[in-house]
Amino acid sequence: KNEVEQSPQNLTAQEGEFITINCSYSVGISALHWLQQHPGGGIVSLFMLSSGKKKHGRLIATINIQEKHSSLHITASHPRDSAVYICAVDGNQFYFGTGTSLTVIP
Amino acid sequence: DAGVIQSPRHEVTEMGQEVTLRCKPISGHDYLFWYRQTMMRGLELLIYFNNNVPIDDSGMPEDRFSAKMPNASFSTLKIQPSEPRDSAVYFCASRRTGNTIYFGEGSWLTVV
């Protein structure tokens, strides 16, 4: 049983496209995190949110607590956005989604 | 701030050898986590500490794995004896209660 489900698993987009990655969870949480991992690289926290919406540059994260759903949007995607994006929820421990592998083609 | 510091970054060892991975969390953080990442299973929590005390080690695969946190600025994850199936990236992460989590760059372990 996966406490956190992400979709899609893999995503290929043309540079400039608007991208959405979805995350649904089944446990009670205090916060949700979006993480980014570049190939062969470490893991960086992009957002931590517990309600509403946050924006950082071209990245936007939203969460609907009632529906237990979050989305990560990337506007005007760029090849450097190519990475694995991981949704993690902060319950009594961290639960991780399996990640969405994004490739942005020039 | 230097971030979460892990060592070694890469290690190749022979089956049966002892492996020790090290982590220095961010100063002031009260939680420390050890994760393992593989292609097959993604990120798995092995163990986490709160104020240097192990809270949940249910993710530790078996008795070959052990973790310690002797003080607030240092933790080790030990595998003895190592096996090829232990090959993975091991991440250490830390956080202050209620705040975001910070990951180290990972220790890439290959057991041959």
Q: In the structure encoding, which two tokens stand for residue A5, read together?
A: 């489900």
- What are the start-end ranges of the H helices in A3-100? none
Higher pLDDT, A22 or B100: A22
Asked whether residue A93 carries a pLDDT value surpassing 80, the answer given is no
What six digits make up the tokens of B39?
A: 């292609």
Distance of alpha carbon A63 from alpha carbon A33, whole angstroms = 10
Which of B43, B89, B92 to probe by mutation at the A interface, max A CB count within 10 Å? B43
Q: What residue type is assigned to position A61 of the chain?
A: A
Chain B stretch 29-48, residues whose beta carbon is closer than 8 A to a beta carbon of chain A: 33, 42-43, 45, 48
Check whether A70 has a pLDDT greater than 80: yes
Better pLDDT: A42 or B22: B22
Split at pLDDT 50, 70, 90, the class of B89 is very high
pLDDT averaged over chain A?
94
| Chain B interface test: which of A6, A32, A43, A101 (most B C-beta within 10 Å) | A43
Q: What confidence tens digit (pLDDT) does each residue in A45-58 have?
A: 999 999 999 999 99
Residue B13 has pLDDT above 80, yes or no: yes
What is the rounded average pLDDT of the residues B76-100?
95
A86 CB neighbours in chain B (<8 A) are 43
Tell me what pLDDT residue B62 has. Answer: 84
Q: Does the pLDDT of residue B37 top 70, yes or no?
A: yes
Per-residue confidence (pLDDT) for residue A1, from 0 to 100: 61
> Do the chains contact at B104 and A30, CB–CB below 8 Å?
no
Nearest-CA residue of chain A relative to B107? Answer: A42
The closest CB to that of B91, out of A43, A48, A99, belongs to A43
A59 CB-near residues (< 8 Å, 6+ apart): A46, A47, A72, A73, A74
Q: What pLDDT band is residue B1 in, cutting at 50, 70 and 90?
A: low
DSSP string across B2-62: ---EEE-SEEEE-TT--EEEEEEPPTT--EEEEEEEETTTEEEEEEEEETTEEEE-TT--S
Q: Which residues pair with B55 in a beta bridge?
A: none
